[in-house]
Structure 1
């Protein structure tokens, strides 16, 4: 019998490009017609960095995340891992991709098998692929992983079942499972949204520590810009609306100086705990509150029926391209804002 393969840790240098989405589209065919859930998305996840994908429910965030993780094949576009097209990988490359890119689901109550112990859940991949020699080594590895995600003492958790754990503890088990294969990219899909605020902050701190210690790259999906600000302050935010990225850039720029009207509306909806700042905060009034159906998208900019900056024959005539604003680091898709910036620069 061949000796089990024990993989050496793969720790890429900080800033290394790990996962790239180029022109990714995802269209679902339904009885009501085609549903363009994702329409030409470009994203890059780098080692030791966080890319937050934010937007309202139903805007295509999870569909994008599933395509990035290889759980679904996009209708068009390319997903690359370490520079290689995921769709063309051979069996060995596919296994490396599946081990290195791990998905953390939103619901900690549904993502764990109720009949498996914590030990069995965390070590399933290790045992399946021969990364541990025996049960004793598997338990040692599981204990190390639990301690890494702040479930201590680990021995008190190994033989428990999911129903014996709190929501926060379950999500930490899910993170430990994702780390078991020496993952390089974690795709966290609203992974803190179902937790209490205090538990949420604690879990975000754990994820931040793992990012810094292991150079793990994060694609972090959230509808909460307050969470994005806290977790991705040194990273980037990409704002999605109806399957398209409408604004993207370094988190401090997006939070402190939003340019797209939709981004401004999202930030204005974030609760401000300081009463003085809350009173000074300007509310963004939209033209309408109803989100267009994906089966009947409006012409031009899909945000124009709700946009306070709407200009007839401009916003409803052609979709604005996502392009650099003022030659800086921010990407923006808005006819009006881009034109105003260009005129201000000329002046």
Structure 2
């Protein structure tokens, strides 16, 4: 897989390329999306989310455009509280945008019929951050993973449901699967629970998986193992990922052949192919994020660029500064320019960039 180019298409049309049968082992065959790899299956178009609070309106997401393509990874990165999870919830139709549209195969999710919405729910699956809270403690692994299969009548009886569940567990490397079918969440580790959550998502034969900080609560070794599993599922099944993380090291590892969108206070400030954004960050905020990543090599750590921000304080969302929201913290701040006009997210040769003082080339 090669680095994807940055696309600026105004819409995200496209039919599902090839629907494999929902049999005892749900999932699409490898190569099923070969003819439509560049056609977005899920798109966010100018989405905004404003929350009303006693202290005033909070613009959690302020006009975001994102595209998720089959078999590709789009990582959304940024500090805690920047709007990543709110964006993910709107993408999954768990929250309705204040304005803007979410489109699935080119169709506005808000305008879908009941049957279309049901298909959307099956095709776009969500993996939550906390494996300790996302699973029902009184349901076994079999009950949890097979619930969707039984609800949508994708299996005929209990015997077929258990066989399908066992196959899904093997796919996420919980083996021998028969040892896990009748376990409860409290009988498993955090990594095992998160693999159960992945198996539950895969049961619906999804086209898109939205993973919201799905590895942040796991130990490092378990985190890498789970990322490898998700990577194999992406490649083998052609599943597109909207991967939410605050850790650029995780983003670089999982989306090395994909794309990164850097978010700050509800806006995308830089977006492009992962390797270019991480290896050659342009926006001052992206540079600060990259400089904060721990470097295990002591020689590289000594020579690594350290970005010192003007302030460690994040602006209050109810009283955002004029101009570029990052200017109170930006080490490249230019008075009279950065504090008067908000920079637009503009295309450059290899990325999108929103900054007055640096260009996207």
Task: State TM-score, norm by structure 1.
Answer: 0.94
SS of residue paired to 1:204: helix
| Correspondence for 1:209 | 232
Mapping of residues 1-347 of structure 1, within 5 Å: 7=22, 11-13=32-34, 14-325=37-348, 328-338=349-359
Question: CA–CA distance in 2 between the matches of 1:12 and 1:115?
Answer: 38
CA contact (8 A) 1:15 1:48 kept: no
* Separation of aligned partners in 1, 2:295 and 2:59: 35
CA contact (8 A) 1:51 1:219 kept: yes
- The unaligned stretches of length 5 or more in structure 2 are 1-20
**3-state DSSP class of the match of 1:27?**
strand
Distance 1:40 1:18 in 2: 20
- SS at 2:357 equivalent: helix
**Per-residue CA shift, 1:28-84, capped at 9, x if unaligned?**
011111000000000000000000000000000000000000000000111000110
Q: What's the Cα RMSD here?
A: 1.1
Provide the rounded CA distance (Å) in 2 between the counterparts of 1:38 and 1:336. 24
Secondary structure class of the residue paired with 2:301: helix
Q: Per-residue deviation at 1:313?
A: 1.2
Name the CA distance, whole Å, in 2 between partners of 1:83 and 1:149.
31
**Cα offset for 1:17?**
1.3
Give the length in aligned residue pairs. Answer: 333
Normalising by structure 2, we get a TM-score of: 0.91
Instruction: Report the 3-state secondary structure (helix = DSSP H, G, I; strand = E; otherwise coil) of the residue aligned with 1:335.
Output: coil
Q: CA deviation at 1:16?
A: 3.3
- 1:249–1:330 Cα contact (<8 Å) kept: yes
User: For 1:246, what is the secondary structure of its paired residue?
Assistant: strand
* SS class of match (1:270): coil
SS at match of 2:288: helix
